[in-house]
Amino acid sequence: MVCYYHSDKPALGLCKYCQRGLCCDCAAVVDDCLACKNRHEEQVHALELLMQKNILQSKRVGSDYTRNTIFYGVVGILFAAFGASQLEFLGLQAVIYLMIGLALLWAAAANYIESRRYKK
């Protein structure tokens, strides 16, 4: 691979923004990445900031799923227990409460499974 701007020089690496090969004269190190000197340094810095922000957000997502799991689980248990205990007194209305409880427990299980992806 050769430098995009100097075809007679070997490239050291690629610009993170434009993916062009860069020689030692054309490369600038920005946040441990290579960028085209005096061309893409700001864009590469902005990309690195965006990546750091995304990594932080992805760590927060797992805790959101865990919180949802607990909430859906508790409310689902309450609805299911109330519906089951009132079957003989409320009839169809108790069945609806029971179904809502089971749906919430299913949502809790789905959130738990999804939260496991973000703990790795």
Name the residue ranges covered by the structural domains of the chain. Answer: 57-117
What are the tens digits of pLDDT across the range 27-49? Answer: 999 988 999 999 999 999 999 99
Q: Summarize pLDDT for 55-88 with one digit per residue, the tens.
A: 888 777 778 888 999 999 999 999 999 999 999 8
Q: Would the pTM of this model clear 0.95, i.e. be above it? A: no
- Backbone dihedral region for residue 94 (phi beyond 0: left; psi -120 to 50: alpha; all else: beta): alpha
Contact 3, 23 (CB under 8 A): yes
From first CA to last CA, the distance across the chain in angstroms is 36
